[in-house]
Amino acid sequence: MKRNIVITIARQYGSGGRTVGEMLAKDLGIHYYDHELIKLASEESGINESLFLETDEKMRNNGFFKVPVRVYTGEIIGPSSKEFTSEDNLFAFQAKSIKKLAETTSCVIVGRAADFVLRDYDNVLSVFVHAPHDFLVEQAAKVKSLPKDELEKFMAREDKYRASYYEHHTGQKWTDAMNYDLCLDSSKLGFEKCVEAIKAHAKVRFGEDIFD
C-alpha cells in the first residue's frame, strides 16, 4: 500500500457493517479493530481491561442516554484524579490508541466514534453502513435467536445506545450523513459490493494506485 490509510465504519445494528469491515480488511490484507481497541487502551493506560468492559456494559444497561454531552477534546486525566477511570477518560484512552493506529498503520476500525476522533487526519475514510428496517431485522435474526418483537426491541436499544454514545462524545448526530465521507445501503449493494464501493472511493480519494 502506498501510504497508511484508515477506514472507519459506523453501522446500524443488522446492517452488516462489521461483516463489511472484516471483509474489507481481509481483502486489503490489513488489520481489523473492533473490541481489540479496548485491549490497546488498557495497555496504553495501565487500567485493567475488565474495567473498560464493565464500564461499557454499565453505560449500555443503566443510562448512557441520561449522561450530559461531553465532547471529546483529546484531554486525558492523570491517575491522581478520581476521574481517571471515568467513562470519558476511558474513551480518551481508546481515542489515543485509535490515533496511534492512524499514525502508524493501515487498518479498518469499527465503531468507537473513530470517524470523529480522526476527523483531522487526511489519511482517513469514514463510512456509515445502514439499511431499511426489514433488512436489518432479517439480518439480525441470523445471529440472534429471539421472537421478532423482542428482536426489534433489542435492535432499537442497541442503536439508541450507539447514537447516545456517539452524540455524548462528539456532540453530533450519529446518523447525520454529513459526518461521513461515504454512506452505504447494504440492502441495495450487498456486503461484497459495499467492500468494492469503499475501495473505489478510496482510490478516488487517495489515488488509483493506493492499494498497489
Query: Residue 137 maps to which CATH number?
Result: 3.40.50.300
Residue 55: is its pLDDT beyond 90?
no
The dihedral sign for the CA sequence 29, 33, 35, 39: positive
Residue 40 lies in a domain: yes
Residue 45: is its pLDDT beyond 80?
yes
Residue 212 lies in a domain: no
Residue 1 lies in a domain: no
* pLDDT > 70 fraction of the chain, expressed in percent and rounded: 97
pLDDT at site 124: 97
Residue with cell 484512552: 93
Mean pLDDT in residue range 85-103: 92
The more confident residue out of 81 and 123 is 123
* pLDDT > 90 fraction of the chain, expressed in percent and rounded: 67
State whether residue 111 is helix, strand or coil: coil
Residue 137: is its pLDDT beyond 80?
yes
Residue 153 lies in a domain: yes
Mean pLDDT of the chain: 92
Query: Which amino acid makes up residue 89?
Result: N
Give the integer Cα–Cα distance in Å for 203 and 137.
33
Strands (E) across the chain are located at 6-11, 31-33, 107-110, 124-130, 182-185
Q: What is the tens place of the pLDDT at every residue in 159-178?
A: 999 998 999 999 999 999 99
Residue 63: is its pLDDT beyond 70?
no
Residue 28 lies in a domain: yes
Q: How many CA atoms lie within 13 A of 109 on its CB side?
A: 28
Residue 210 lies in a domain: no
Mean pLDDT in residue range 8-31: 97
C-alpha cell at 112: 468507537
Number of domains in the chain: 1
pTM for the whole thing? 0.91
Residue 162 lies in a domain: yes
Residue 117 lies in a domain: yes
Mean pLDDT in residue range 59-64: 70
Mean pLDDT in residue range 166-194: 96
Note down the domain range covering 65: 6-204
Residue 35: is its pLDDT beyond 90?
no
- β partners of residue 107: 6, 31
pLDDT at site 59: 77
Query: C-alpha angle with apex 201: 200 to 202, nearest 5 degrees?
Result: 90
